[in-house]
Amino acid sequence: MDKIYLNELAFYGYHGVLAEETKLGQTFKVSLVLGLSTKKAGMSDSVDDTVSYADVYETVKKIVEGVPFKLIEALAEKIATKVLTDYPLLEEITVKLIKPNPPIPGHYESVAVEIKRKRSDING
């Protein structure tokens, strides 16, 4: 299976369990791996034969910058389901959702969740 990568898309959202997260908001980064066949697009050189990463970007932006979720797990699930539903050429998706600055004590770069879903997961 071929893959299209969208790496560390950055959005501002209001997701989290704590009140200050939903009030102040923070940056979230999303990386996607889109699994599909790109052979037809490679032969035709037409965006109509593939998934437009510009369109996927806008889809993800609306979700992350939209209705708040308490858990990044739920946010990642929403992204995976919506992208698979909206882009029928996709066979699978991996979503990595990074929360660079969660309000927890300690020294770390970020926290993240990564999920992989197949079309059969949303149609089954």
What CATH number does residue 80 fall under?
A: 3.30.1130.10
The pLDDT of residue 124: 60
Does the active-site annotation cover 61?
no
pLDDT value at 33 more than 80: yes
Q: In terms of residue numbers, what domain contains 104?
A: 2-123
pLDDT value at 105 more than 90: no
- How confident is the model over 52-77, as pLDDT tens digits? 999 999 999 999 999 999 999 999 99
Which pLDDT band holds residue 119 (cuts at 50, 70, 90)? very high
Share of the chain above pLDDT 90, in %: 80
The pLDDT of residue 109: 81
More confident residue, 80 or 121: 80
- Catalytic-role residue among 23, 62, 78, 99: 99
Confidence (pTM): 0.93
- How confident is the model over 84-99, as pLDDT tens digits? 999 999 999 999 999 9
Helix (H) or strand (E) holding 27: strand 26-36
Q: How many CA atoms lie within 13 A of 93 on its CB side?
A: 30
Number of domains the chain contains: 1
In sequence order, the 6+-apart residues with CB closer than 8 A to the CB of 12 are 25, 26, 27, 28, 65
Tokens 């102040």 -> residue:
24
